[in-house]
Structure 1
Amino acid sequence: MADYQHWKLETDRDNVVWLSFDKKGASANVLSADVMAELDRIFDELRANNPRGLIIRSGKDSGFIAGADVEEFTKIKDADEAMRLVKRGWDLYNKLEALPFATLALVNGFCMGGGVELALACRYRVAVDQPGTRFALPEVMLGILPGWGGVKRLPRLVGPTAALDMLLTGRAVDARRAKRLGLVDEAVPPRIQENTARMIVLEAPRPRKLPLFQRLMNSGLMRPLVVHLARKQLASRASPDHYPAPYAILELWRKYDGDPFAPRPEDPASVIGLLEGDTARNLIRIFFLQERLKSLAKDSDFRAQHVHVVGAGVM
C-alpha cells in the first residue's frame, strides 16, 4: 500500500486493516482538505484490495478527531466554494458507508463534529470507556450545521429524541451514555479495545435496530410533530433571527432528511445561508479568540495568589 502523510495502514493476520490517523505537525487530529484527500485515495485502494474489514483509530494520545478544520471556513469566498467544502465530506463519508466490508471506528478520547460524522458512516463504533472520551456535534455553537451526514445518520441510529438533543445543543456524551443511546456498539476498558474492535469486525453482527416508537418518530408522518415540539422548546431560549442554526437543523431533517444539497440558498435550512450569515461569522470569530486566549494562558507563568469575587444584586 502507498505511504501517506497523515494516515498509517497496517494489515493484521486476519486481513483486517488498521487505519491510524495522525495529522502531521498538529497536536490534534482535524479534518483538513489534505487529510480528506488522502483518505479518499485510501478508500479507493481498500475497495480494490477488499480486506476482511477496516478499523479506523487515532494515532495520537490527545483524542480521536477534533472535527473539521474550522480555519478553512474562514477562507470561503463564495457560495460555490462553501458547497464544495460540504460536498468533499459528504461524498467521502458516503464512500466510506458504501465499502463492501465491515468498517469500525475505534474512538479513544474526544470525537467531535466531523469525527462523529465519520464514525456514523462506519458500520460499527467502539468507544474506550475513559474520562476523556466524548462525542459531540458542536457545529450549532459555531452557527452552522453538521453537513457531512450527521443530520441524516444520527436520528436513524439513535432515534430523533437523542439525536436532536445532540444536534441542537452541541452537548457532549461520554462513552457509557453513548452506549446507552446506541451511538456506539460497545464501551470498553482501554485494555480490551483492540480485541473488541477486531472481534466485532470479524463477526460482523447485525446492526442494532431502533425501538418501534423511535422508528415511527423518524417517519415522514411524525417528523412535523417532532419538529413542532422541538421548535417550541427552542423558541423559549433563542429566536431564529438571532440564532438560526438549530432551526436550520430541524428543517433540514424534517424536509430533506439531512441532505445539505437539497435546500435552495434562500431556504431556512440552507448551509449557504448559515455560512454567509452574521451569526456564524461572529461565532467563528469568537471561537478563534477563545483559542488564542487559551494559547496565551499556556505560555504565561502567572500564578494566582488571591481570588476576589465581586458582585451586586442576586448571585
Structure 2
Amino acid sequence: MGNLSVALSKDGIATLTMDLDGKVNIMNEEFMMRMPEALDRLEAEVAAIRGVIITSAKGSFLAGGDLALMSRARPGMEAEIFGHFERLKGYLRRLEKLGRPVVALINGTALGGGYELCLACHHRIALDRDDAQIGLPEVDFGILPAAGGVIRLTHLLGFDKALPWLLQGRRTSLRQALAEGLVDELASTREDAEKRARAWILHNPESVQPFDKAGRTFGAHRLSTENRTSLQFAAGRVRSLAGRGNRAATRIADVAAQSLYLPWEPISRIETRGFVELLMSDEAQAKIAAFFAPKRALG
C-alpha cells in the first residue's frame, strides 16, 4: 500500500509526503485512512515542529476527489456521504489549525480536492511546470467543491475574483495561477521550492487562515461596505443562475456569498449539505458517468 509519510528534519520542519497507490494521488479511501495517522503524528510532535511542508512523491500533486466513490452514491446514502466529507473536512481543519505554518509544495497538477488541500495550507509554492494545472472543476460534474474549497477560495481571492473560478470550473497553468493569486510563489526547481518553503515557514510562525484570525467578528450587520456590495451582487447572480437551471453554480454562488458573514462551522455544514444534495441528482450522476464512459469503453 501507499503512504502519507511524515519526516521531521533537525531544523524542526516536518514534511508530509503523499505517495498513495496508483499513478496519481487521489482523495480516496486510502487517503482517508492515512491522513489521520499523519495528523496524529504531527499533533503528537507539535512542540518540536516549526512548520509543515506538504508535497507529493509522484509526478503530480493530488489529482482530486474520488469520483469513483461519488459515482456509487444512491438515494438513501445521504447521511453516509455527508459523514464521509465532514470527516475529510475535519482532517483539513486539523491541518490548518495545527498552530504551525503549513506550506503546500505543489510539484504538479492539483485539481478539485487536490487544490482544496492546497487551500487548507497557509502558503502555496508551485514548481514551475508547463504540463501542470490548478483549478476547481467540480461545477462541470454538477457538484461543488466539498472539502471547504468554496469557502477558502472566497476568503483567499475575495468574492468577485473567486466566483469565476468556482462557477466556470476553470483550470489554469501554474504561471496564470500565480498571476491571479491561486498560488503565492513559483520555484524553478524542487530544491528551490523546498528552500522557499522553509524560508516562508521561519518568517511566518504565527500563520492562520483569514477566517480564524483573532478578533474577527461575524454577522451581516458588521459587514464591510465592500462585502455588502458583494452580497448584493451575489443575490442577483444567484437569481440569474437559478433562472438558467444551473443548480450547481447556483449553490456555489450561494455558499460563497454566505461565507462572507458566517463562521466556519455553520457555513462548512451548509457547503457539505449542498454537495450531497447535488451529488444525488440525476444531472450530477449522468455527468460523472460520462466521465468514466471512455475508460470503460477501453476495457
TM bucket, shorter chain: 0.7 to 0.9
Match of 1:252 in 2: 255
Q: Does the CA-based 8 Å contact 1:82-1:275 persist in structure 2?
A: no
Report SS of the residue matched to 2:17: strand
- More helix as a share of residues: 2
User: Is the radius of gyration larger for structure 1 or structure 2?
Assistant: 1
Separation (CA, whole Å) in 2 of partners of 1:217 and 1:119 = 29
Could you tell me how far 1:49 is from its partner in structure 2?
Answer: 0.3
Listed one character per residue, the Cα deviations across residues 93-137 of structure 1 (whole Å, up to 9, x for unaligned) are 111110111111000211011111111111111011111221111
Match of 1:31 in 2: 27
Match of 1:180 in 2: 179
Is residue 225 of structure 1 aligned with residue 229 of structure 2? no
Match of 1:83 in 2: 82
Report SS of the residue matched to 1:261: helix
Give, as a single letter, the amino acid of the residue that structure 1 aligns with 2:66: D
Match of 1:124 in 2: 123
Separation (CA, whole Å) in 2 of partners of 1:176 and 1:149 = 24
Is residue 17 of structure 1 aligned with residue 14 of structure 2? yes
Q: Percent identity?
A: 31
Is residue 143 of structure 1 aligned with residue 142 of structure 2? yes
Listed one character per residue, the Cα deviations across residues 135-159 of structure 1 (whole Å, up to 9, x for unaligned) are 1111111111011111111011111
Listed one character per residue, the Cα deviations across residues 171-224 of structure 1 (whole Å, up to 9, x for unaligned) are 1122222222222221121251121112112222787999xxxx95873x2333
What is the TM-score normalised by the length of structure 1?
A: 0.79
What is the TM-score normalised by the length of structure 2?
A: 0.83
Judge which range, 170-179 or 201-210, deviates more. Answer: 201-210
Give, as a single letter, the amino acid of the residue that structure 1 aligns with 2:116: E
Give, as a single letter, the amino acid of the residue that structure 1 aligns with 2:51: G
Separation (CA, whole Å) in 2 of partners of 1:209 and 1:254 = 18
Match of 1:276 in 2: 280
- 5+ unaligned residues in a row in structure 1: which ranges? 300-315
Separation (CA, whole Å) in 1 of partners of 2:18 and 2:52 = 13
Q: What are the residue-to-residue correspondences of 1:147-162 with 2, within 5 Å?
A: 147-162=146-161
Report SS of the residue matched to 2:110: strand
Could you tell me how far 1:46 is from its partner in structure 2?
Answer: 0.6
Separation (CA, whole Å) in 2 of partners of 1:66 and 1:125 = 16
Separation (CA, whole Å) in 2 of partners of 1:179 and 1:185 = 6
Could you tell me how far 1:291 is from its partner in structure 2?
Answer: 3.7
Change (3 A) 1:166 1:113: same
Separation (CA, whole Å) in 2 of partners of 1:260 and 1:209 = 14
Q: Does the CA-based 8 Å contact 1:127-1:133 persist in structure 2?
A: no
Match of 2:219 in 1: none
Change (3 A) 1:282 1:190: same
Q: Does the CA-based 8 Å contact 1:160-1:218 persist in structure 2?
A: no
Give, as a single letter, the amino acid of the residue that structure 1 aligns with 2:87: R
Question: With CA pairs under 8 Å and 6+ residues apart, which has the higher RCO, 1 or 2?
Answer: 2
Could you tell me how far 1:264 is from its partner in structure 2?
Answer: 10
Is residue 74 of structure 1 aligned with residue 71 of structure 2? yes
Report SS of the residue matched to 2:290: helix
Q: CA RMSD in A?
A: 2.7
Q: Does the CA-based 8 Å contact 2:128-2:186 persist in structure 1?
A: yes
Match of 2:204 in 1: 204
Report SS of the residue matched to 1:56: strand
